[in-house]
Amino acid sequence: MIRIVVDRTRCFGYGNCVAALSEVFDLNDEDGVVLVDEEAAQTVAERQLDAAVRSCPTNALRINRT
Amino acid sequence: MTNLVFGRRQAEALVYREARLLDDLELDEWLTLFTDDGIYWVPIDENAPVDESVSIIYDWPLRREERVRHLLDIPFPAQSPRSRTMHLVSNVESVKQESGEYLVRTNQIIHEIRVGDFSQVGLGVVNVLAGQVHYTVRIVNGNPLIAMKKVLLLNREMPQGNLTFML
Amino acid sequence: MTESNEAADPGLVWTGPKRFRVRTAAYVDPVVFAREMKRVFESNWVFVAHESEISEPGNYKTSHIGLQPVIISRDDDRQIHVLLNRCVHRGAAVCREQRGSANLFRCPYHGWMYGNDGKLVGMSLAGGDAGYDSDFDRPEGLVRVPRVESYRGMVFASLNPDVKPLVEYLGRAAWIIDNKLDASPVGQIQLRSKPIVARYPGNWKFQAENIVDGYHFSFVHEGFTHLQRQYQDATGDFGVHAGNDSPADVRRVRSRGRNYGTPNGHGLTARPVADLVPWLEGKHGAYYRELLDAYGEERLKMIAGRSTASIFPNLGLIHHQIRVWRPLSANLTEVTVYPYDLVGVDEEINRGWLRSQERFYGAAGYGQPDDTEVFAVNQQGLSATAVDWLILERGLHAERDEGGGDWSGQPGGEVPQRSFWLEWMRRMESQEEQS
């Protein structure tokens, strides 16, 4: 099981994660903060997911594998 | 080492006297304020090893003498005309070190002006320098002498103008 | 020049048979200053850093090309980038430190982020109706200076993509750089100390001219010659000004060697050691014998000699330092002296030269403050704009062609200054785009 942990205080909606992996990440139109599709996160390649998480310039994203 | 207490009042007497000697250009007497191995240091980077980093001034005893002879006896463009200076000394504290020496911490403001034709570039303008000045004071035969004078200018690593007067 | 032109205004630099004069306005006029920032600095090679200042990935320092602020950074792949220090969004400076180490430069205004290679890696709050449309024309990153080249670790940059290759531009000046750097047996220098930084209320060209001026020493530095006579090496000269003990000695020592002018405006003084034996038998005999083994006798004469260079427009070499002058306005200039260490040389020798430079070039020293004072005195004098010309005709009658566009004269003459002004005039008066 993969969980994407978002530190919402750090996210400033740079959208790098969206550019890297739009199947999993999106930005909330209201506040610009990241939205995560947890179901889709289970299905994409781990390498892609890692790259998208690493692309965050504010380190707001983390992966928990259980 | 005697038991002489070198507290704030004694420290003030020393640094006020030094300030007066500097402002009055009584520099031969100023030389006598230092120990035989006394260092006068105005660093650019006080945290770097002194042998690896250039300083504004790093004077061992003979260099201190050279500085005084230069300023008193030899005309040179950067002091023609001369500077007038006023050293203001404040926030004096004296703390005894494990070595038996005293660390005297002061804050100083130095006002400086070049005399001469005040209509000309570089003359007739008051320049202000500020910094912490730390003295390491050693009691030698009952006399408090400066083993190290360290001037930490606020703008030490920044652009300097003409500092050819006594700091 | 045709005959019909002879009566015309000679412009800012007046050249002709037995004639070399520079107009007062060249040093004082803000309109001239604005033009020279474009023509002399922004269209030309300008020295910006030494590689040892940014030796590790992520290291950066700031500098300038004329008035243009730049960041010189080394990225994670060790590539050097020269970047305009300005967020491409709404213009804020992205770096407020003079040197350091960073993975990212983050704009303080709206949080745009750039990698240490200058690439835009993030725009904050990019999505939504208040953000950027899907087809937004996203900038690539900080605007980069198009040309960056190094010569022996010295990094030059140019805002003009069409400048000629750096080595070609340096020409004979590269020989002086070689003489200086080969004083290290492995041919490398390292900038370890923080620099000495001074500002003076005078035009930048006084510094460019003066670092290769053999004529002023007996006058501006007469006081220093007295100190030398009295103290010799005891106060840390470290042999650098040996033989500069009186104005007469200075005349003799400083007339050795040759001055050079070059087609790209560099002014050079190459002064060989007259007699090698004292060097080899002296205090640092082991060091000089090592150089002798590495380079041979003829090269050692130049390496151990006293060469200086004014590399057009902003770089000077003298003693064991890199010197950079930065124009701030027609009458305000910043001079930065970077003492360097010679790699592979005893600590004692590097320390000796460091103390020697501190004594001469420091803000409270016995040399450079007198130079910068005279630059201010020059600027003061030039406020008498009713006088048109400055005279730079020393040795004009005895110049010698050296081939390849270079020419030479005796030290103490003004060949290096004329070299500077000829290139300056070419750039200021040219109708075409510069290269």
CA-closest candidate to residue B92, choices B102, B77, B82:
B102
Question: How many residues in chain B?
Answer: 167
Q: Are strands B143-153 and B34-43 parallel, antiparallel or unpaired?
A: parallel
- Rounded CA-CA distance C37/C31 in Å is 10
User: What CATH number corresponds to the domain at position C133?
Assistant: 2.102.10.10
In this structure, the answer to whether residues C249 and C347 fall within a common structural domain is yes
List beta partners, residue B106. Answer: B133
Residue C86 domain flag? yes
Residues C354 and C387 placed together within one structural domain of the fold: yes
Q: How many CB atoms lie within 10 A of CB C426?
A: 15
pLDDT at C242: 83
Structural contact between residues B92 and B16, judged by C-beta atoms closer than 8 angstroms: no
Clarify whether residues C131 and C171 are in a common domain.
no
d(CA A53, CA C142): 24
Q: In this predicted structure, what is the pLDDT of residue A63?
A: 94
Question: Is C22 a domain residue?
Answer: no
B94-141 pLDDT, tens digit each: 999 999 999 999 999 999 999 999 999 999 999 999 999 999 999 999
Alpha-carbon radius of gyration of chain B: 16
Q: What is the ipTM of this complex?
A: 0.97
In total, how many domains does chain C have?
2
In whole angstroms, give the CA distance from residue B3 to residue B142: 9
Which residue in chain A is spatially nearest to C114 when comparing CA positions?
A: A57
Q: Cβ A13–C130 below 8 Å, yes or no? A: no
Please tell me which of the candidates C201, C357, C370 has its beta carbon nearest to residue B78.
Answer: C370
Joined together, the tokens standing for residue A54 give 């690493």
- Residue among A13, A55, A57 minimizing CB distance to C127: A13
Classify residue C432 as exposed, middle or buried by CB count within 10 Å of its CB (0-12, 13-18, 19+). exposed
Separation of alpha carbons A16 and B156, rounded Å: 42
- pLDDT, one tens digit per residue, over C295-310 is 999 999 999 998 999 9
Nearest to C125 among A12, A16, A55 (CB): A12
Which among C62, C219, C235 is the top mutation candidate for probing chain B, defined by the most B β-carbons within 10 Å of its own β-carbon? Answer: C235
Nearest CA in chain C to B158: C197
Q: Examine the domain organization and report whether C367 and C424 are in the same domain.
A: yes
For residue C240, the distance in angstroms to the closest alpha carbon of chain B comes to: 17
CATH architecture of the domain covering B8-153: Roll (3.10)
* C-beta of residue C287 within 8 angstroms of C-beta of residue C345: yes
Q: Could you list the residue range(s) of the whole structural domain that residue C62 is in?
A: 49-148
pLDDT at position C249 is 78
Chain A residue with CA closest to C111: the answer is A12
Q: Residue C57: left (phi > 0), alpha (psi -120 to 50), or beta?
A: beta
Which one, of C48, C46, C62, lies nearest residue C313 by Cα?
C46
Secondary structure (3-state) at A22: coil
- Interface test mutation site (partner B, options C52, C62, C189, C196, max chain B beta carbons within 10 A): C196
From chain A, the residues in CB contact with C111 under 8 A are 12
Could you tell me which chain A residue has the CA closest to the CA of C115? A57
DSSP state letter for C434: P
Which chain B residues have a beta carbon less than 8 Å from that of C354? 51-54
Q: Is C102 among the domain residues?
A: yes
Per-residue pLDDT, B126? 97
Q: Is residue C230 part of a domain?
A: yes
* Residues C348 and C388 placed together within one structural domain of the fold: yes
Structure tokens at A33: 């903060």
Do C234 and B42 make contact, defined as CB atoms within 8 angstroms? no
Instruction: Render pLDDT for C240-290 as a digit per residue (tens, 0 to 9).
Output: 888 777 777 777 777 789 999 999 999 999 999 877 888 888 888 999 999
Residues B12-40: tens digit of each pLDDT:
999 999 999 999 999 999 999 999 999 99
User: Neighbouring chains of C at 3+ CB pairs within 8 Å?
Assistant: A, B
**CB–CB of C433/C162 below 8 Å?**
yes
Closest CA in chain C for residue A32: C125
C119 with C200, same domain: the answer is no
Best C109, C124, C134 residue to mutate vs chain A (most A CBs within 10 Å) = C124
Position C6 scores a pLDDT of 53
Cross-strand partners of C13: C22
| Pair C98, C172 in one domain | no
Q: How confident is the prediction along chain C (435 residues), in pLDDT tens digits per residue?
A: 444 445 678 899 999 999 999 999 999 999 999 999 999 999 999 999 999 999 999 999 999 999 999 999 999 999 999 999 999 999 999 999 999 999 999 999 999 999 999 999 999 999 888 899 989 999 999 999 999 999 999 999 999 999 999 999 999 999 999 999 999 999 999 999 999 999 999 999 999 999 999 999 999 999 999 999 999 999 999 988 887 777 777 777 777 899 999 999 999 999 998 778 888 888 889 999 999 999 999 999 999 998 999 999 999 999 999 999 999 999 999 999 999 999 999 999 999 999 999 999 999 999 999 999 999 999 999 999 999 999 999 999 999 999 999 999 999 999 999 999 999 999 999 876 554
Examine the domain organization and report whether C227 and C331 are in the same domain: yes
| Residue C225 neighbours by CB under 8 Å, 6+ apart | C218, C244, C245, C246, C247, C249, C250
pLDDT of residue C430: 83
Handedness of CA A37, A38, A39, A40 (dihedral sign): positive
Mind listing the pLDDT tens digit for each residue in B136-159?
999 999 999 999 999 999 999 999
- Distance in angstroms (rounded) separating the CA atoms of residues B71 and B65: 10
Return the beta strands (E) in C296-387 as ranges.
308-311, 315-318, 321-329, 332-339, 341-342
pLDDT of residue C256: 82
Are A29 and C104 inside 8 Å of each other by CB?
no
Query: What tokens appear for C18 in the block?
Result: 């037995």
Rounded distance between C-alpha atoms, residue B71 and residue B56, angstroms: 16
Using CB atoms, pick whichever of B54, B69, B74 lies closest to residue C339.
B54
What are the structural domains of chain A? 2-65 (3.30.70.20)
DSSP 8-state class, residue B160: B
| CATH number of the domain where residue C215 is located | 3.90.380.10
| pLDDT, position C433 | 55
Nearest residue, CB atoms, C124 vs list A12, A28, A30: A12
**Residue B5 — pLDDT band, cuts 50, 70, 90?**
confident
Per-residue pLDDT reduced to its tens digit, B31-75: 999 999 999 999 999 999 999 999 999 999 999 999 999 999 999
